[in-house]
Amino acid sequence: MGSPSADRHWQKVLSPEELPEGRVTSVTCGLVTVCMTRFKGKYGALDNKCPHQGGPLGEGSIENGLLRCPWHGWDYDPISGKAPGFDDGVETYPVEEREDGVYVGLPVAEPHVRTVSDVMAESLTNWGVTSVWGMVGHSNLGLADGLRREHEAGKLRYYGIRHEGAAAFAASAYGKLTGRPAACLAIAGPGATNLLTGLWDAHVDRAPVIALTGQVDTQVLGPGAFQEVDLRAAYGGVAQWSQTVLSTSWHAELINLACRSAILNRGVSHLIFPDEVQNVHAAEDAPVGGPEGRIPDRGIAPAEAALDAAVAAIRSAKRPVIIVGHGARFDMDGITALAERLGSPVLTTFKGKGLISDNHPLGCGVLGKSGTPIASYFMNEADLLLVFGASFSNHTGITPKIPTIQVDFDPMALARFHAIDHPLLGAIGRTCGLMVGALAGQDIAAEDRTPQVAERWAIWRAEKTKRLDEDRGNGINSAAVFRALTNVLDEDAIIAVDVGDNTYSFGRYFEATNQAVLMSGYLGSIGFGLPAAMGAWAATQEDDERFAGRQVVSISGDGGLGQYLTELTTAVHYDMNITHIVLNNGQLGKIAKEQRSGSWDVWQTDLTNPSFAKVAHQCGAMGLIVTDPGQLEDRMRAALDHDGPALVEVMTDALLI
């Protein structure tokens, strides 16, 4: 028994007779977990951690009058905490039995002492890293506590996911959409390796991301401790910057370098946090990092002679065509002004879909394998290509046979796959402005192609209308699905698109206005859609007027959704207003098509699916199913109007894409 004292507070831990004689349980009281015992009519309150390996004594049992540790069998007196025959033991707390239950006298909590993790979490938010996705676990608890403090201070939003791969995809999509880094958090070993696919997506698509991974204690690093992985080696190809945090590091400066590198190099920065370093005390006045004076003005202009030569080529071209990729997403005002000055058709890569409206008089949709016949027609007719922020991927189909001007702010992106007539190193927006200025008042040879663009759209829309009625009795055709989606989506919706035949159909049939489209471009990773939408939704919750209040929609096939299906519970947990459209055709349709085109047998591409609409409902989201084309628009609108996560399952024909 004990008595109240100034340095303890008393907390009720058990109701009368709640703990039977001879039994043990653990009770969490604030930040302290107590092992409660009852033996020979007395109650004991012991520190729950065995002093040897930290075993949870509250999960042990009383055998032959002694409390046995469940991890390694060490014995303690269940009331006094002493180890019979030894000098060691377990700390105990005073206990009082009162009329309403059993109380324990716990020490008054010491004030929090600032740690390395606090300094680094504060530095992250100073850099504008305000969204973190991840999974809290045993080797990142100190860092997680630092992030928690920033979360509770209103400086950070943290989203706990069901699989670390979803965290990395969400962070990658956020970076693609905003141009700013978000972070993903994982434990050592499998948690850190689970991040890799999403981080590769960010790496190859040049999206800024901060990866924060726990690590085993430095004292056991090397011999092969539990969950030890050489994370510097594992991340060697994906992280353009990677460092281990040491107790003697300049902790704020590590965050400065990580964020600066992610932003300027447009890639993954990786910080490794050994377990014990996370809790090292930091000085109360330890400096906090931030971007002030660390980011240069990136609005560079091309070399004057190179720009003059490019402008001369533009003036003399009769049929110039502009091609824009995802790298031009923040510079479309200047590109559109240049296109209107030239009367030039504007084509986009697939990753650039929606950067110019398909309703713009010069917008021609997507070029390449998932594109429109409009875009391919105008490229084939061109005598000069002006390429902005595109990578010349083989999927895009930009021909090397036509004279080309390429503008990019990355010197390694210029002439990456073949020689370019006019490679211009410069910021895209500024370079376009200089081009428009140089062409002002000048005679140009370019023909106004606006009437031809309208003609080609009329031909393609007539063809799409014919396809609306196709029906083999095996489900709805993709032309109908994306006509309906075109009709119901907001003009500025944010759309995350997965990988598969659904993606190709989206590229062909969906007519973009001012939507922002996110996809796994160079990596082409199935499963991207739903986690990416979670990343986009987080951007709509922040103080950024570019994204506030916008619809967020993800599109996938049944194969893609199956990869991260349980993230529906994440969307429900955080009440994410996301609408997911899943095209369920019961197979990996794109792979089956590739098998047929390669003269292979179609094999192992059939899928056994649940009712995705019912799964969504069981997860707490709205779930709707569409089996008839006439239901498409109404059910899509109902899902979009729903205040919270919703899923529309469309039963589709795998061959009508």
CA atoms within a 13 Å half-sphere pointing along the CA-CB vector of 299: 8
Structure tokens at 50: 């065995």
Three-state SS at 553: strand
Beta strand segments in 530-627, E:
552-557, 578-584, 622-626
Q: Are 356 and 326 in contact (CB under 8 A)?
A: no
Q: Does domain 468-651 have CATH number 3.20.20.450?
A: no
For 220, which DSSP code? Answer: G
Q: Are 499 and 558 in contact (CB under 8 A)?
A: no
Residue 562 has pLDDT above 50, yes or no: yes
- The number of beta carbons lying within 10 Å of the beta carbon of residue 616 is 28
Strand partners, 366: 348
Residue 103: phi and psi, rounded to 5, are: -115, 150
Q: From residue 522, give the alpha-carbon distance in Å to each of 61, 348, 526.
A: 56, 15, 12
Residue 4 has pLDDT above 50, yes or no: no
What band does 230 get if pLDDT is binned at 50, 70 and 90? confident
Mean pLDDT of 19-31: 93
Q: Where in the chain is the domain with CATH 3.40.50.970?
A: 116-279, 468-651
Q: How far apart are CA 208 and CA 557, in angstroms?
A: 27
Strand partners, 638: none
Mean pLDDT of 526-553: 96
> Count of H helices and E strands in the chain?
20, 27
Residue 430 has pLDDT above 70, yes or no: yes
What band does 110 get if pLDDT is binned at 50, 70 and 90? confident
Structure tokens at 591: 């792979």
Residue 340: phi and psi, rounded to 5, are: -70, -35
Q: CB within 8 A of 533, min separation 6: which ones?
A: 173, 494, 496, 552, 553, 554, 576, 578, 580
Mean pLDDT of 408-433: 94
User: Residue 37 has what pLDDT?
Assistant: 97
Q: Quick: pLDDT tens for 341-392.
A: 999 999 999 999 999 999 999 999 999 888 889 999 999 999 999 999 998 8
User: Residue 227 has what pLDDT?
Assistant: 83
Q: Are 45 and 34 in contact (CB under 8 A)?
A: yes
Calculate the CA 358 to chain-centre distance: 28
Q: Where in the chain is the domain with CATH 2.102.10.10?
A: 8-107
Residue 342: phi and psi, rounded to 5, are: -95, -15
Q: Quick: pLDDT tens for 295-310.
A: 999 999 999 999 999 9
Residue 508 has pLDDT above 60, yes or no: yes
Structure tokens at 653: 């024909």
Residue 2 has pLDDT above 50, yes or no: no
Q: Quick: pLDDT tens for 137-176.
A: 999 999 999 999 999 999 999 999 999 999 999 999 999 9
Mean pLDDT of 491-513: 95
Q: Which helix (H) or strand (E) holds 309?
A: helix 304-316
- The number of beta carbons lying within 10 Å of the beta carbon of residue 204 is 18
User: Residue 30 has what pLDDT?
Assistant: 83
Strand order in the sheet with 552-557: 516-519, 494-497, 552-557, 578-584, 646-651, 622-626
Amino acid type, 506: F
Mean pLDDT of 489-496: 97
Ranges 296-300, 407-411, 570-574, most confident = 570-574
Q: Exposed, middle or buried by CB within 10 Å (0-12, 13-18, 19+), for 155?
A: middle
User: Residue 394 has what pLDDT?
Assistant: 74
Mean pLDDT of 282-305: 94
Residue 5 has pLDDT above 80, yes or no: no
Q: Does domain 304-452 have CATH number 3.40.50.1220?
A: yes
For 178, which DSSP code? Answer: H
Q: How far apart are CA 446 and CA 58, in angstroms?
A: 81
- The number of beta carbons lying within 10 Å of the beta carbon of residue 364 is 30
Q: How far apart are CA 513 and CA 491, in angstroms?
A: 5
- The number of beta carbons lying within 10 Å of the beta carbon of residue 647 is 29
Q: How far apart are CA 411 and CA 393, in angstroms?
A: 16
User: Residue 1 has what pLDDT?
Assistant: 36
Q: How far apart are the first and last CA of the chain?
A: 76
Work out the mean pLDDT of the chain and round it to a whole number.
Answer: 94
Tokens 């965050």: give the residue. 255
Strand partners, 207: none
Q: Are 142 and 275 in contact (CB under 8 A)?
A: yes
Tell me how many degrees the CA angle 200-206-207 measures, rounded to the nearest 5.
85
Q: Where in the chain is the domain with CATH 3.40.50.1220?
A: 304-452
Rg (C-alpha) for the chain, rounded Å, is 30
Q: How far apart are CA 445 and CA 308, in angstroms?
A: 16
Amino acid type, 586: G
For domain 8-107, the CATH architecture is 3-layer Sandwich (2.102)
User: Residue 6 has what pLDDT?
Assistant: 53
Q: Quick: pLDDT tens for 77-104.
A: 999 999 998 888 999 999 999 999 999 9
Residue 57 has pLDDT above 80, yes or no: yes
Mean pLDDT of 211-219: 92
Structure tokens at 573: 């947990």
Phi-psi region of 580 (alpha: psi -120 to 50; beta: other; left: phi over 0): beta
Nearest to 312 by CA among 449, 447, 448, 442: 442
What band does 225 get if pLDDT is binned at 50, 70 and 90? confident
Calculate the CA 183 to chain-centre distance: 9
Structure tokens at 464: 């799409």
Q: Are 38 and 21 in contact (CB under 8 A)?
A: yes
Mean pLDDT of 556-570: 97
Nearest to 130 by CA among 152, 149, 157: 157
Domain 116-279 CATH class label: alpha beta
DSSP sequence for 35-49:
EEEEETTEEEEEESB
